[in-house]
Amino acid sequence: MSILTQVDGGVATLTLNRPDRLNAVTDAMLDEIALTLRGWSVDPAVRCVVLAGAGRGFCAGYDLSGGDKVERDEPMRADEAAARMSIHAEIPLLLHRMPKPTIACLRGPVAGSGLVMAAACDLRIASQTVKFKLAFASAGRCGDPGGSYLLTGLLGAARAREMFLLDEPMLADEALARRLVNRLVEDEALESECAALAAKLAGGPTAAFAAMKRNLNAAGAIALEESMAQEAAANAQISLFSHDASEAARAFMERRAPNFLGY
């Protein structure tokens, strides 16, 4: 199995599972990832999504060795390649926009397609062994859909251009300093740190989280007045009609922990 999936306690974990290839992705693997995330994005039993890699690395990027490519009598046409790319572009879109928190659990190489997927997540937790590299220039390619947008947003224009054009690695300490990762932990603590954060988010007010993600994703693309109007509308809807908002108020008055149900 090139990916492993598990749903437990509201936390859905997708593990890239080609450790002998540092979890380099193939076309078939990307199809599986897209299909899985599509289902989880609308599954009420899933309240938080974790993306991880088996073995000593998260993902070394796209498998240029051929992987699962099918022999063809004629080269793939440009329109066929674009159609396949649109399916794979759905992965960062889903991670970025799905109405539930997403976490990338990172160690070792995080390159190419793997870096784009990680950048699309809401939170990135990394071990001290992490090593980021775009690797597109080395492969003579311009990059996966979403990479330039997401990395410019995270790193700023100058550092993103440097990563794309010079194709030099970024190690753990710089990644933390530049906020490419949210938290840096010892390698042996990576899984437990990601599990604790995922459990916290899965137990939280997921309807409010969905609205937060919509507001945050829109914030850089619309004017302040539009952003404020969107936030006000979402807050009014949740405050008036959400079980979780009412439950939080009751729990506060009763001096107990709230029991959020996600609606």
**What is the per-residue pLDDT across 10-53, written as a single tens digit (0 to 9) for each?**
999 999 999 999 999 999 999 999 999 999 999 999 999 999 99
Residues 6+ apart with CB under 8 A from 189: 127
Quickly tell me which residue has 């599990």 as its tokens: 195
Query: Do 76 and 128 belong to one domain?
Result: yes
Task: Looking at the structure, tell me whether residues 74 and 139 fall in a common domain.
Answer: yes
- The 10s digit of each residue's pLDDT in 117-136 is 999 999 999 999 999 999 99
Mean pLDDT, residues 114-119 taken together: 97
Look at residue 138 in the predicted model and tell me its pLDDT. 87
% of the chain residues with pLDDT over 70: 92
Residues 125 and 226 in one domain: no
Where a domain ends, among 163, 180, 202? 202
Q: Hey, what are 260's tokens?
A: 């959020």
Within 10 angstroms of residue 2's Cβ, the number of other Cβ atoms is: 18
Are residues 29 and 12 part of one domain?
yes
pLDDT band at 79 (very low <50, low <70, confident <90, very high): low
Residue 73, burial from CB neighbour count under 10 angstroms (0-12, 13-18, 19+):
exposed
- 72, burial (CB in 10 Å: exposed 0-12, middle 13-18, buried 19+): exposed
Domain count of the fold of the chain: 2
Mean pLDDT of 141-159: 93
**How high is the pLDDT of residue 171?**
98
User: Reading across the β-sheet that carries 48-53, which strands appear in turn?
Assistant: 3-8, 11-16, 48-53, 102-106, 123-127, 183-185
Above 60 in pLDDT, residue 67?
Answer: no
Cβ distance 234 to 240 under 8 Å?
A: no
At 8, the pLDDT band (50, 70, 90 cuts) reads very high
Of residues 194 and 140, more confidence is placed in 194
**Judgement on whether residues 190 and 117 belong to the same structural domain of the protein:** yes
Final residue in a domain of this structure, among 166, 183, 202: 202
Of 68-72, 83-87, 149-153, give the lowest mean pLDDT range.
68-72
Q: Does residue 259 sit within a domain?
A: no
pLDDT over 70 (residue 74): no
52 and 119: one domain?
yes
Q: Is residue 262 part of a domain?
A: no
- The lowest-confidence range among 53-62, 87-96, 214-223 is 214-223
Q: Is the pLDDT of residue 181 over 80?
A: yes
Q: Average pLDDT over the chain, rounded to whole?
A: 90
237 lies in the same domain as 155:
no
Lowest mean pLDDT, pick from 76-80, 103-107, 219-223: 76-80
pLDDT computed for residue 225 by the predictor? 78
Q: Tell me what pLDDT residue 200 has.
A: 97
Q: Which of 169, 185, 202 is the last residue of a domain?
A: 202
Grade residue 174 by pLDDT with cuts at 50, 70 and 90: very high
Q: Return the higher-pLDDT residue of 77 and 214.
A: 214
Q: Is 7 among the domain residues?
A: yes
Q: 27 and 9, same structural domain?
A: yes
Name the band, by pLDDT with cuts 50, 70 and 90, for residue 245.
Answer: confident
The angle at the Cα of 111, spanning 29 to 12, to the nearest 5 degrees, equals: 50
Please check whether residues 110 and 231 belong to one and the same domain.
no
Q: What is the CATH number of the domain that holds 106?
A: 3.90.226.10
Residue 261 included in any domain: no
Task: Give the structural domain span for 226.
Answer: 206-254
**Domain-embedded: residue 83:** yes
> Quick check: is 195 in a domain?
yes
Alpha carbon 68 to its chain centroid, in Å, reads 24
| Residue 82: pLDDT over 70 | no
Q: Are residues 180 and 59 in the same domain?
A: yes
Distance CA 244, CA 24 (A): 40
Answer yes or no: do 173 and 72 share one domain: yes
Residues 148 and 226 in one domain: no
Q: pTM to 2 decimals? A: 0.89
What pLDDT score does 241 carry?
Answer: 74
Q: Is residue 121 part of a domain?
A: yes
Residue 184 lies in a domain: yes
> 10 Å Cβ neighbour count for 44?
11
Higher pLDDT, 238 or 48: 48
